[in-house]
Amino acid sequence: MAEDREDTAGLLRGLAVLAGPLPEFDPGAAPEEPTALFTAWLAHAVAAGVVEPHAMTLSTVTPEGRPEARVLILKSVDAAGWRFAASTASGKGRDLAHSPHVALTFHWRELGRQVRVSGRAAAEDPARSAADFRARSASARELALLGRQSQVLADPADIDRELGPVRERLAADPGLVPTEWTSYLVAADAVEFWQGAADRRHTRLRYTREPGAGTWRRDCLWP
């Protein structure tokens, strides 16, 4: 066992990180607000073939004050902020009902880039939540209608048993939307763009929302 752990340490030490080639990032040319830069970096990630560039880590705070993190899909981003969708009955939904404070972390490893968003998540109006739900694939809608996400599953066959009635409900009412399904908008207080470099002289730019002014302060950070 101890030998396995030593082997693992050696294996990890031998792995490359930020091997490149990595793109340049000039913070001096960055736009005044962060969603414009995020959109440009996202487009770059898509064009560069980054796998699942819209997968992000959503961190929340539990009612006990502990951090929880899980990977989720980004639905959209515009000047108002970043959007994702979830059930209010899920673990993340319960956390958000207790505390709106969230962090979103994107890692685009092929480009050596990370974006960290911190802010507050707010539920959007039911029409937007319904539109999000109806745009999901049939199987994603079925599973969401089943609910129970993150509850203990005693027997995998229970899923098939409960899917039957859910499919019948959806067939009878194709526009059906569970009341728990919610689109959340994250309005950021701070956003950090991190461009890794092979020599570890990473380039970091943090946007911080100026209270009341609706403008953003930009600071470069030590690597």
Ligand X SMILES: Cc1cc2nc3c(=O)[nH]c(=O)nc-3n(C[C@H](O)[C@H](O)[C@H](O)COP(=O)(O)O)c2cc1C
Nearest distance from residue 210's CB to ligand X, in Å?
32
If one asks whether residue 107 binds ligand X (CB under 6 A), the answer comes out as no
If one asks whether residue 198 binds ligand X (CB under 6 A), the answer comes out as no
Instruction: Report the residue count for the chain.
Output: 223
Nearest distance from residue 47's CB to ligand X, in Å?
20
Q: Which stretch binds ligand X (CB under 6 A): 30-38, 70-78, 104-112, 190-198?
A: 70-78
With contact defined as beta carbons under 8 Å apart, do 121 and 216 qualify? no
If one asks whether residue 55 binds ligand X (CB under 6 A), the answer comes out as yes
Q: Give 54: exposed, middle or buried? Use CB within 10 Å, 0-12, 13-18, 19+.
A: middle
209 conformational bin, left if phi > 0, alpha if psi -120 to 50, beta if neither: beta
Would you give the end-to-end CA distance of the chain in angstroms? 37
> Which of 31, 91, 100, 178 is close enough to bind ligand X by CB under 6 A?
91
With contact defined as beta carbons under 8 Å apart, do 78 and 183 qualify? no
> Which of 9, 71, 97, 221 is close enough to bind ligand X by CB under 6 A?
71
Residues 137-196 interacting with ligand X (rule: CB under 6 A): 149-150
The contact set with ligand X (CB under 6 A) reads 52, 55, 68, 70-73, 86, 90-92, 149-150
